[in-house]
Amino acid sequence: MLKAKKSPLLPPLKLFREILRAHRQLPALQRSLGDSYVKQEFKLHKNTDNPIHIVGFLQSWQDYLQMISDGQWKDYKLSKQELDKMSPEQVGQLYELMKETQNF
pLDDT of residue 93: 83
Please indicate, yes or no, if residue 2 is contained in any of the structural domains: no
- What are the residues whose beta carbons fall under 8 Å from the beta carbon of 59, sequence distance 6 or more? 6, 9
What is the phi/psi pair of residue 86, to 5°? -75, 145
Evaluate if residue 91 carries a pLDDT over 60. yes
d(CA 89, CA 41): 13
- For residue 4, being part of any structural domain is answered with no
Rounded CA separation 22/16 (Å): 10
Domain count, the chain: 1
Tell me if 6 is assigned to some domain.
Answer: no
pLDDT of 96: 82
DSSP conformation class of 86: S
**pTM for the structure as a whole:** 0.76
Domain span at residue 68 reads 12-102
pLDDT at position 2: 39
Residue 76 lies in a domain: yes
Q: CA-CA distances (angstroms) from residue 13 to 18, 41, 43, 62, 81?
A: 9, 13, 11, 12, 29
pLDDT (tens digit per residue) in 2-40: 345 567 899 999 999 999 999 999 988 889 989 999 999
- When pLDDT is averaged across residues 43-58 and rounded to a whole number, the result is 94
* 46 DSSP 8-state letter: T
Question: Does residue 87 fall inside a structural domain?
Answer: yes
Q: Give the per-residue pLDDT at 15.
A: 97
Computed over every residue of the chain, the mean pLDDT equals: 87
Considering the domain boundaries, does residue 5 fall inside one?
no
* Within a domain: 3: no
- pLDDT value of residue 1: 36
Report the alpha-carbon distance of residue 85 to residue 28 in Å, rounded. 30
Cα–Cα distance, 24 to 35 (Å, whole number): 10
